[in-house]
Amino acid sequence: MENGGGNLEAQIEALLNAEKQSRQAGDVSGTRKAVTDILKLCFDAGAWKTLNDQIVLLSKRRGQLKQAVQAMVQQAMQYIDQTPDLDTKIELIKTLNGVSAGKIYVEIERSRLIKKLAKIKEEQGLIAEAADLIQEVAVETFGTMAKTEKIAFILEQVRLCLDRQDYVRAQILSRKISPRVFEVDASKEKKKPKEGENIVEEAPADIPSLLELKRIYYQLMIRYHSHSNDYLEICRCYKAMYEIPSVKEDPAQWIPVLRKICWYLVLSPHDPMQSSLLNSTLEDKNLSEIPHFRLLLKQLVTMEVIQWTALWKTFKDEFENEKSMLGGSLSEKAAEDLRLRVTEHNIIVISKYYSRITLKRVADLLCLGIQLSCQDSYWMWEFLELVWGRKM
């Protein structure tokens, strides 16, 4: 509650006169001290409306020094979490956002303000508004922002787009981050900035480490690729997570990830990339800790017909157990696609051993009924023609 109005106004007036003299004399430290003292007076008095008014007034004074504006914005940001209620907090954020708009020397502060405001919108259930708000900022152009803070901000943009199911925008934003950025050797000493270069600010304490950001990045990419059931890309994301040192050193973390790698390898359509990943995974010594999955992958590289009913009986419980594992359950379509992949494998095997075969015999080997639907029959013959390389 605002109090001591008359006394406060007199103190502010005195400081405004001191600020004017310092500003006109080009005294940076004096101007900076005057503006920050004004803000502290308002804060100590609980005069939040006066605080907002003074921030706007001081920023618009003729020839205001950018160092003073920067100091004012930075100090007022410390008061955000100490506001008495949500409305006051939002009003202060909007005031600071308005003051910092278009000013390069406070672009990092503005990005942090917008992130805070977007978080409030999200907590209010306004996901679309939060996503629209945070997309306004292009942090990749900020020369003085720490790399980890840039990545964290872009990942927040991607997450909000996924939350609002805007998959096109999520993909566009995710491409601002190259996976190679996570492979930088953190043990190397930071290069000292050359003369004339911008000094990069330290990232705030709440920004995750580069390796933790790598995990978050691939978790978001898994969400994105899950939308289109792109199993091979999902598998590659889990493979990247599997290589994170903190994951690889902890069986409680790498076992669920390795299970997902195996499942999504099996679910992926057969192609050179899938075959390469399948063989490299089979060479992983850690696979001996989950022998069931080693057996599953081994069947896919063995040129023998897989009996679907026997395979599903063996792995149905494991399939259901994924619900309690890292990454959650497999998609609703996964069980259907698993059978489709087994059928594709069997057709490839059949093509190795037969040059002519009846439809009934094919149906028996594939564990399919002879009474196929028109669509299933058409699909099967198209695939047979493809693997045989000629018309049947």
Q: Residue 237: which of 148, 322, 167, 326 has the closest Cα? A: 326
Average pLDDT of span 184-198? 53
Task: Tell me how far apart the alpha carbons of residues 390 and 368 are, in angstroms, rounded to a whole number.
Answer: 23
- What residues contact 39, with CB distance under 8 A and at least 6 apart? 51, 54, 55, 72, 75, 76, 79
What residues contact residue 34 under an 8 Å CB cut-off, 6+ apart? 15, 16, 18, 19, 22, 68
Among 160-169, 333-342, 374-383, the range of highest mean pLDDT: 160-169
Q: Are 58 and 100 in contact (CB under 8 A)?
A: no
- Residue 296's alpha-carbon distances to 124, 215, 291, 313, in angstroms, are 46, 27, 9, 12
- Full-model pTM: 0.86
Name the most confidently modeled range: 202-206, 296-300, 363-367. Answer: 296-300
Concatenating the DSSP letter of every residue in 157-169 gives HHHHHHHTT-HHH
Per domain, the residue ranges of the chain are 1-101, 229-388
pLDDT of residue 203: 84
pLDDT of residue 198: 61
**Residue 1: predicted pLDDT:** 39
The predicted structure's pLDDT at residue 348 = 85
Determine the pLDDT at residue 376.
53
Per residue in 98-141, pLDDT tens? 999 988 999 999 999 999 999 999 999 999 999 999 998 999 88
